[in-house]
């Protein structure tokens, strides 16, 4: 009897510990955002009408982040598929390579992109032929966003695809599908929820990027650069509204996308 009571007591302490830890982390994450929204939310939203520089920055941020995400989904999903189906060690090696951009400090990433795609580089010269410049342009913004965020998408997409039982594709192939057709008709819809979640993560990451973007493209300004600009030039009070409005406006598509994901799980390995 005493042993059970002790056991229950220990269990309660452990459960309390888990809950406390969770609450602490949530508080740590939520507090700065709450402060930001309180300090900057109202002035920010009020400013939106008159402040066309702010509107332009928000629009540019949304545009470039969306383009970067769409490009990544287009190019990264096949890559994620190949990685999900790849044998070791090739899969692990490429996977590790893909994680590298995540390790690089963002300003350093911007410099690396500048060296690789700037006008003085072979790639940059080729781009110039096409009329594309990386510095001071939307192209540079999209490139920087892609560099820092695409690895997140590919990792998450790879996981989502790996969770789909490979045998579904085998069955589809015996029913006459080529490998690509089988992947498209079977694996893609079954991994769809996970792919969408990965795209959301990528988009959010692209929206918030600063260090890599500012090296390549200072003008035109995305919201993160504008808020830094206003902080430097005018002070905290001027910078907070920009940041707060960005958070508020970005919440809308995020919430919409997350709610789309709700629903029964598909594609988990067959019972």
Partner 1 sequence: MQATAGAARHLPKLSSCNEIRHMRSPGFALLVASLACARPCDAATASRADTVVVFTAASLAVPMRAALDSFARQTGAVVQQENGASLELARRITELGRVPDVIALADQEVFPQLLVPRAASWYVRFARNRMVVAFTGRSRGAAQITADDWHHVLSRPDVRVGRSDPRLAPVGYRTLLLYRLAEGHYRVPGLASRLEARTPPALMRANASELVALLQAGELDYIVDYESLARANRLRFVILPPAIDLGDPARARDYARASVRVARRTDTTTYRGAPIAYAATVPRGAPHPSAGQRFLRYLLSPAGQAVLRAHAVDALRVPELVGDSVPSALHAMHR
Partner 2 sequence: MIAVEALRSRAGAFVLRDVTFSLPAGAWGIVLGSAGSGKTTLLETIAGVRRAESGRVLLRGADVTRVPPERRGVGIVYQHALLFPHLTVEENVRYGADEPDYAVALARRLGAGQLLTRGVRELSGGERQMVALARALAPRPDILLLDEPLAAVDPRGRTRLRRELRALQRELSLTVLHVTHDFGEAGTLGDLAILLDEGRMVQAAAPETLFRRPASAAAAEFLGAENVFAGSATPLAPGSDDEAGTMQFHAGSLTLVGVGETGAVAHAVIRGEDVVLARERGGTTSARNVLDGVVVEVVAHGALARVTLEVEGLPLVASVTAGSVSELGLLPGSRAVATIKATAVHLC
Closest among 270, 253, 249 to 261, alpha carbons compared: 253
Residue 177 interacts with which of partner 1, partner 2, none, CB < 5 to 8 Å by class: partner 2
Separation CA 47–CA 196 (nearest Å): 33
Measure the CA–CA gap between 85 and 249, rounded to whole angstroms. Answer: 38
Residue 173 interaction partner, one of partner 2, partner 1, none, beta carbon < 5-8 Å per kind: partner 2
Residue 178 binding target from partner 1, partner 2, none, CB below 5 to 8 Å by type: partner 2
CB distance 161 to 81 below 8 Å: yes
Binding mask 176-205 for partner 2 (x = CB under 8 A): xxxx-----xx--xx---------------
Q: Which is nearer to partner 2, 7 or 269 (CB)?
A: 269
The conformational region for residue 136 under phi > 0 = left, psi -120 to 50 = alpha, else beta, is: left
Task: Give least dist CB 101 to partner 1, A.
Answer: 19
Q: 141 exposed, middle or buried (CB, 10 Å; 0-12, 13-18, 19+)?
A: buried
Nearer to partner 2, 148 or 191 (CB): 191
Q: How far is 142 from 150, CA to CA, in rounded Å?
A: 11
Q: According to the binding rule CB under 8 A, does residue 215 interact with partner 1?
A: yes
Contact set for partner 1, span 138-177 (CB under 8 A): none
**Contact residues for partner 2, defined by CB under 8 A:** 165, 167-168, 170-179, 185-186, 189-190, 264, 266-267, 270-271
């Amino acid at each position: 009897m005493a042993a059970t009571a002790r056991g229950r007591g220990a269990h309660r302490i452990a459960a309390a510990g888990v809950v406390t830890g969770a609450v602490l982390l949530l508080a740590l994450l939520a507090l700065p955002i709450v402060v930001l929204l309180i300090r900057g939310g109202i002035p920010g939203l009020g400013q939106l009408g008159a402040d066309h520089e702010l509107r332009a920055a928000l629009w540019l941020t949304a545009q470039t982040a969306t383009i970067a995400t769409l490009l990544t989904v287009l190019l990264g999903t096949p890559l994620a598929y190949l990685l999900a189906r790849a044998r070791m060690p090739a899969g692990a090696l490429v996977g590790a390579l893909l994680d590298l951009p995540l390790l690089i400090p963002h300003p350093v990433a911007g410099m690396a992109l500048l060296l690789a795609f700037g006008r003085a580089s072979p790639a940059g010269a080729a781009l110039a032929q096409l009329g594309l410049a990386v510095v001071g342009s939307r192209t540079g913004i999209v490139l920087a966003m892609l560099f820092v965020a695409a690895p997140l998408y590919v990792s998450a997409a790879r996981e989502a695809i790996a969770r789909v039982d490979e045998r579904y594709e085998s069955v589809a192939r015996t029913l006459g599908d080529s490998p690509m057709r089988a992947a498209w008709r079977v694996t893609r819809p079954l991994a769809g929820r996970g792919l969408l979640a990965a795209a959301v993560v990528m988009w959010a990451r692209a929206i918030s990027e600063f260090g890599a973007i500012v090296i390549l493209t200072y003008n035109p300004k995305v919201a993160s650069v504008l808020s830094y600009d206003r902080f430097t030039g005018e002070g905290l009070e001027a910078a907070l509204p920009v940041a707060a409005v960005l958070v508020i406006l970005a919440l809308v598509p995020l919430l919409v996308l997350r709610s789309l994901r709700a629903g029964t799980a598909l594609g988990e390995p067959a019972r």
